[in-house]
Structure 1
Amino acid sequence: MSHSNEDAATNGTMQQKRNIQIIEWEDLDKRKFYSFGVFITLSIRATVYPATLIRTRLQVQKGKSLYGGTFDAFIKILRAEGVRGLYRGFMLNTFTIISGQAYITTYELVRKYVSNYSDDNTVKSLVAGGAASLVAQSITVPIDVVSQQLMMQGQGEHLSRFRLPSKSETGKPKIVFGQTRSIVTQIFSADGLPGFYRGAVASLLTYIPNSAVWWPFYHFYAEQLSNLAPSNCPHIVLQAMAGPLAAATASTVTNPMDVVRARVQVEGRTSIIDTFRQLIRDEGAWGMTKGLSARIISSTPTAIVMVVGYETLKKVSLRPELVDSRHW
């Protein structure tokens, strides 16, 4: 073999190793995947929940009536309600772990199905991400409706339609699941069963595009970073950088609908269009950016933890016979 051919072969090998290798559904040991997945999903949710709570309160408040911004909200909640205040509704929210498992399963299965018709990674990611969000939101919306009402209690309780009884009213200290039961009862009394699906359309219009945008941008940023980084740079580092970039992009694109979704669910509104119009009328175009900084701030650690956790989960769940054939 000539020197030029040897160089070409070497460069080809290096380029192959530089590319971000995607572990597909058929490559996984499913038992490991689901066992480790529950723990990782729960860890991610516990890490980012305070930012989610802050984002919700910022989006629902009128103007800056209570909080001046993300940091101001964090300090005020911490001072007035303590660390527990940052985790209002968290116990109930952990049930969304079911939707988390449904999400990743749907994503991987749809991605595998679409690969029968297209080899384009962007197409596979776009379709699979949207489908996964559709399935997950059908499970998540009722939990979100209740947990968001719990988030608004305490310092932000005047922003909610429903109120928890105080200790003086009941004579007993408030219990976590007692709070949940109280909110569930109030929602059912006021709106019936449809009350638990209030804002479902707004949620779908928020999270399906968010998910559909996130995955293609994630793979795009990862590949671009792999072209810029040294050949010996670990792929997990590039993926951890690509995750927040994709999350910031998706958050910016979908934030206007996320503001509308939060108000529909918390304030009990019935019309997405009327909520949007009132938001523009009262607060102008800037109203569409409410909670965006909190969303991006929360999405950064979320994306890093999620990407590192998810990619690590897939690696440790890789079928044993495939381990040696992969370059990380």
Structure 2
Amino acid sequence: MEDKRNIPIIEWEHLDKRKFYVFGICMTMMIRVSVYPFTLIRTRLQVQKGKSLYKGTFDAFVKILRTEGAAGLYRGFLVNTFTLISGQCYVTTYELTRKYVSHYTNNNALKSLVAGGSASLVAQSITVPIDVVSQHLMMQRKGESMGRFTVRHQDGKGLLVFGQTKDIIVQIFKADGFRGFYRGYVASLLTYIPNSAVWWPFYHFYAEQLSSLTPKDCPHLLLQAISGPLAAATASTLTNPMDVIRARVQVEGKSSIVLTFRQLLAEEGPWGLTKGLSARIISATPSTIVIVVGYETLKKLSLRPELVDSRHW
């Protein structure tokens, strides 16, 4: 099936699901390894008061590398890898929702909007507890913590990775009970549902516009690789204020989105709502290129054998 701009669109029913999931997990893992340091930096920038510790993305990168080593850029990474499950749920929900909505409309932007929002709702319900734990691990600096909880040290040495994770989980449960693992859930939904719902329509919009401006023999994959980061930058800019509030609610243990918003404005003004935006865009740009190229290639590799020869790229 091709849209009006002649950009191939592979739908869910065209895929060999076994290939799709195996290749998808491998691709997602590679992406997480490459962009995780910027996710950690973004979170620390969003949580810090003013510029008390880091002046910006590059400054944070240099200071973390200098004081904590390369391992400092991957604090909480192993815990965060459990979100691979939510990633597969996200893709499945997105594709199935697109298929369902296509019964009522052929508008690609509308299908992407509804599917993107629905996929994010499902994924965040799985991801938030993992995010809460991994973010507290991200906040553990050498000898201190930027968040509510501090990993205990024994005999001058830090606990092993899984010991640190267990320690944080126990502290969260003691302080807030089971609800603590879903702290910031509403803020996460208000951040990621709009982000996902906006990204997909913009992605297709930019791809269509670029297709109309470039020669017919221009590879579609190149246009999609350019469209992905443009869509990511647009969605990140629109949703960053809520992302800052989400990070503070989860890390600082706040219970009110409105009060967190007011406090942020009172302490740092409107500029505080842009904190971490550059790190977010920097991490989103390469990761989105990899995601888009990987996802579109993944779908091509996962095509059912009888459909391979019918596709022209």
- Note whether the superposition's TM-score is higher than 0.5: yes
User: 1:174: Cα distance to partner?
Assistant: 2.1
Give yes or no for the alignment of 1:315 onto 2:300. Answer: yes
Check conservation: 2:152, 2:158, Cα contact below 8 A. no
Q: What's 1:306 paired with?
A: 291
In the other structure, the counterpart of 1:132 is 119
1:239 aligns with 2:224: yes
Q: 1:204 aligns with which of 166, 170, 189?
A: 189
Stretch deviating more after TM superposition (91-100 or 31-40)? 31-40
Task: Kindly state the Cα deviation for residue 191 of structure 1 after the two structures are TM-superposed.
Answer: 0.5
- SS at structure 2 position matched to 1:87: coil
Contact 2:206 2:230 in 1 (8 A): yes
Residue-by-residue CA offset, 1:98-142 (whole Å, 9 max, x unaligned): 000000000000000000000000100000000000000000000
Corresponding residue of 1:93? 80
Asked if the contact 1:203–1:261 (Cα under 8 Å) also holds between the matched residues in 2, the reply is: yes
User: For 1:281, what is the secondary structure of its paired residue?
Assistant: helix
Structure 2 residue aligned with 1:219, among 204, 220, 229? 204
Q: Of residues 190, 194, 203 in structure 1, which corresponds to 2:175?
A: 190
Task: Kindly indicate whether residue 15 of structure 2 is the aligned counterpart of residue 28 of structure 1.
Answer: yes
Structure 1 residues 276 and 52 mapped into 2: Cα distance closer, same or farther (>3 Å)? same
For residues 144 and 170 of structure 2, the distance between their equivalents in structure 1, rounded to whole angstroms, comes to: 17
Q: CA deviation at 1:158?
A: 3.5
Structure 1 segments unaligned to the other structure (5+ residues): 1-14
Q: Distance in 1 between matches of 2:306 and 2:195?
A: 35
Supply the distance in 2 between the matched residues of 1:327 and 1:291 (Cα, whole angstroms): 41
Q: Does 1:287 align with 2:276?
A: no
2: CA distance between counterparts of 1:203 and 1:116? Answer: 30
* 3-state SS, counterpart of residue 180 of structure 1: helix
1: CA distance, partners of 2:26 / 2:174: 36
Aligned CA distance change for structure 1 residues 24 and 156 (closer, same or farther; 3 Å): farther
- 1:183 aligned partner, one-letter code: I
Aligned residues: 312
Shift of 1:234: 1.1
State the 1:256 CA deviation. 0.3
Residue from 256, 259, 263 that aligns with 1:278: 263
2:28 corresponds to 1:73: no
Q: What SS does the aligned partner of 1:231 have?
A: coil
Deviations 1:250-289 (A, max 9, x none): 0000000000000000000000000000000110000000
SS of 1:192's partner is helix
State the distance in 2 between where 1:17 and 1:132 align: 25
2:233 maps to a residue whose letter is A
Measured at CA, do residues 16 and 184 of structure 1 come closer, stay the same or move farther in structure 2, by a change above 3 Å? closer
Deviations 1:13-44 (A, max 9, x none): xx989621110001101111011111111111
What is aligned with 1:104? 91
Aligned residue identity for 2:291: M
Moved more, 306-315 or 148-157: 148-157
Three-state SS of the structure 1 residue aligned to 2:155 is helix
| C-alpha separation in 1, matches of 2:257 and 2:155 | 38
Contact 1:57 1:156 in 2 (8 A): no
How far is 1:83 from its partner?
A: 0.7
CA apart distance, 1:233: 1.4
User: TM-score normalised to the size of structure 2?
Assistant: 0.97
Q: Deviations over 1:20-69 (max 9, x none)?
A: 11100011011110111111111111111001000000000000000000
SS, match of residue 66 in structure 1: coil
Whether contact under 8 Å (1:77, 1:155) holds in the other structure is no
Quote how far apart the aligned CAs of 1:168 are: 2.8
8 A Cα contact 1:206 1:257, kept in partner = yes
Q: CA RMSD in A?
A: 1.5
Instruction: Return the TM-score normalized by structure 1.
Output: 0.93
Matched AA of 1:265: Q
